Chain A
Amino acid sequence: MSQGLQGPGPLERPHPSGRRTAEGQRIDPQEEAEPARRRTILSALVKHEPGVLAKVAGLFSRRQFNIESLSVGPTAYKRHARITLVIEETEPGIEQARKQLTKLIPVISVTELDSDAVDRELALIKVDGEHPDAIAAVAEMYDGQAVDVSETTVTVEITGPEDRIDAAVKTFERFGIREVVRTGTAALAAGPSETAPGHSASIETTTPPSVTGDD
């Protein structure tokens, strides 16, 4: 007995000619473009409790979002922390990353920052100390300074937007880089706008501890 069901075969049936992209967007035959990746900064206001960072890091690795840097630290309010993420993703990828991040229960809010946001990264660069004067001159060029000097090494501190740090590291290569450490980008929205909303609501409902932090 034959196995299976009766009916017209796969190629005998009518079939529509339309298609979607791999991202699920119906293709407009007029303009079919490769999805471009974009670098952007997501800022998340989160509850300052154990395990939050693990949840965020786990999310990004599990969902294969392309993460360039992540930095985390306390805010002015003891119960909140801020996580700043630099990601490079397609347009739908950025939106999906924002939504998945927002969905984590300890996350209060997430914002994709505008291009005018203030963003800074700090780097410590340890180089061979043979030419201390030249090193100092280059450090100055990047508004940096030497923060540790030994008989054989100089460590320089540089602060600035990510691309500036990239450039600085490249420039210091000529002295012989021994080690570099970078913090990843920290960023706040420009002007009076709130970076990631949620602070003000909790200020009303919780007793704010003494204000010592960044905002």
Chain B
Amino acid sequence: MTNPEFDQYPPEDHEGEPTTEVDCGADAVVASLEQAGVEILFGVQGGAIMPVYDALYDSPMRHITMGHEQGAAHAADAYGIVSGEPGVCVATSGPGATNLITGLADANMDSDPLVALTGQVPTGMVGNDAFQETDTIGVTGPVTKTNYFADDSDTVGDVVGEAVELSRRGRPGPTVVDLPKDVTLGETDQRPSEPRLPDTYHPPDRADQETVEAAAEALKRAEKPVILSGGGVIKGEATAELRSFAIEKGIPVITTMPGTGSFPEDHDLALEMAGMHGTGYANMGITHCDYLLGIGTRFDDRLTGAIETFAPEAELAHIDIDPAEISKNIKADYPLLGDAGTVIGQLDGAIAGPLDIDPWREQCRTWKEEYPMDYEWDPDGPLKPQYVVETFDELTDDDTIVTTGVGQHQMWAVQYWTYTEPRTWVSSHGLGTMGYGLPAAIGAKLAAPKQDVVCFDGDGSFLMTGEELAVAVRENLDIVVAILNNAAVGMVRQWQDAFFEGRHSASQYPWIPAFDKLAEAFGAEGFAVEQYDEVAETIEAALAVDGPAVIDFHIDPDENVYPMVPSGGDNGRFALSEAQLEDL
């Protein structure tokens, strides 16, 4: 089962050179993507988008036909996270476009670069409720950075170029170009010009120097400073600046979930993730700090818990490229509007040498000892998911990419894997989309063919987009799907135990498929594991498979995720166990 095209991947480096001749609008669309440097598209064919697919037929760009448009959007999204360049997904009008919505909303919440091209009925029929007509512009507006209705064959190429450019510049995000069939079929010889940003869009670069100096002065005065490193550090390619700044000044670093990998978790200064399922030491650090430098974070409620008790005594400096994020949820005492790397550099220039905060660093170290992430396990007892994640981490390289669905397994994957590199954690944060993991693994593998890719999935999440396994088999993608199977939508069950008196309404599965056999039916390799002594050898075997493999780990169905801050709770009062939850 090998795909000849894949063996030569990447096929050739066409470095943004358009090769497609332009005779019609669809050619201009394709030439514009080529010119913007797009190499791979993910999509599903259909009536209104057929002209674009026809133009793609002769293009050197690679197209991956996905099982479902949601899969196309998530695959493109993950491709964007891993490569830093927009993933492109393609769908027909009507149901094709509406199937993309979840993926667009996901990318919008997480600021992922993503471009969607949707077919549309011919302009003359728009508004008539024509076959497969949906108001794609109306429906996608609230979940995109912006969207475009292309109404002219002569300019459609430029519109596509602008959509790609806007999606990747400033604060990245998804854009949509809706392509009526008469526009893509319409004759034109207009080659697209170089991709350009809209003239109303001016992402800031350097922060106001006076504010930088004030923020630096306050940081020098601080006794208990921490850095909160968000997804914007990774998206803004500021990981190197963050690391050298934090390490040189000796400031403890907490990460948000999207910021995972921006700072090496095995470093002495790393407190890892804060928030609802963050580590005890990160939540102690963020609650007790007297100065918080947030970088590229939007202070989401799963991070802050109750606003009233979030870093309640901290002066807040906030670096962000999006003015609308500064003081949106938490009032910034020092608003630092600009590019993450540039502004870290400005701050660095305003502070000489390490900060004199030994007692604080010592305090953070003590918290690490007081609130360890050690879980209990018994070699003869049920399999603990944390053990699976840790073992997987030990058996793979540091640059291995982890993707996830949403639920308990996602939290164990972020907690018990030690992330040291940016763009190795690929997950659905803001939207919390079950079903993200498998299509994301496909997109991630295509963006980084040389790196191992593992998808930690829940049984519930896997069943939402499992059809994409057919794609992984067809494209012979070396990915391993590790299903942490608890025969339940476990995160919901955990909340029912905690907040609904254990009433398990619609959260337990009386029957779930044999995932190893399901995988085999798709043409992938399937494994099932129930015992501790099978874990390592099965992981090794799955990694050695040429093509996709699925491991069905039958884990302890009663295992819950801790620490836990109940939603809207006080970060400093995280619960480490069910008993502690009852104390709250």
Contact = CB atoms under 8 A, between A and B. Distances in A.
Does A associate with B in a complex? yes
B200 A7 contact: no
Size class of the B contact interface (CB-based, 8 Å):
35 or more
Contact of B323 (A4, A5, A9, A99): A99
A106 B312 CA distance: 38
Contact of B307 (A8, A24, A104): A24
B200 A16 contact: no
Interface stretch (B39-47, B58-66, B567-575): B567-575
B486 interface: no
A8 B327 contact: no
B200 A105 contact: yes
Given A5-B374, A16-B572, A51 B562 contact: no
Contact of A5 (B138, B310, B372, B572): B372
Contact of B313 (A10, A16, A55, A106): A16
B141 interface: yes
B12 interface: no
A51 B371 contact: no
B577 A58 contact: no
A183 interface: no
B373 interface: yes
Contact of B308 (A9, A20, A50, A106): A20
A51, A95, A102, A103: which has the most chain B beta carbons within 10 Å? A103
Nearest to A62: B142
Q: Is the interface of A mostly helix, strand, loop or mixed?
A: loop
A29 to B, nearest CB: 12
A99 B583 CA distance: 42
A7 B280 contact: yes
Given A7-B370, A51-B137, A103-B324, A15 B573 contact: yes
Nearest to A51: B137
B327 A24 contact: yes
A120 interface: no
A4 B578 contact: yes
Contacts, number: 133
A55 B322 CA distance: 18
A1 B378 contact: yes
Interface string A9-39: 1110111111111111110000000000000
Q: Is the interface of B mostly helix, strand, loop or mixed?
A: loop
Contacts of B200: 47, 105-108
B504 interface: no
B579 to A, nearest CB: 7
Interface string B350-379: 000000000000000000001111111010
Contact of B141 (A24, A47, A55): A55
Nearest to B137: A51
B580 interface: yes
B560 interface: yes
A89 to B, nearest CB: 14
Contacts of B328: 96
Given A20-B308, A20-B312, A96-B324, A5 B137 contact: no
B372 A104 contact: no
A50 B376 contact: no
Interface of B: 137-138, 141-142, 145-146, 149, 166, 198, 200-201, 280, 284, 287-288, 299, 307-310, 312-315, 322-324, 327-331, 370-376, 378, 381, 558-560, 562-563, 570, 572-580, 583-584
Interface of A: 1-11, 13-26, 47, 50-51, 54-55, 58, 62, 92, 95-96, 99-100, 102-108
Given A19-B309, A95-B327, 17 more contacts: A3-B562, A4-B562, A5-B563, A5-B576, A7-B370, A10-B574, A10-B575, A11-B583, A13-B284, A15-B572, A16-B287, A24-B329, A25-B331, A26-B314, A47-B200, A51-B141, A102-B324
The 4 closest A-B pairs by CB, nearest first: A4-B577, A18-B312, A24-B330, A105-B146
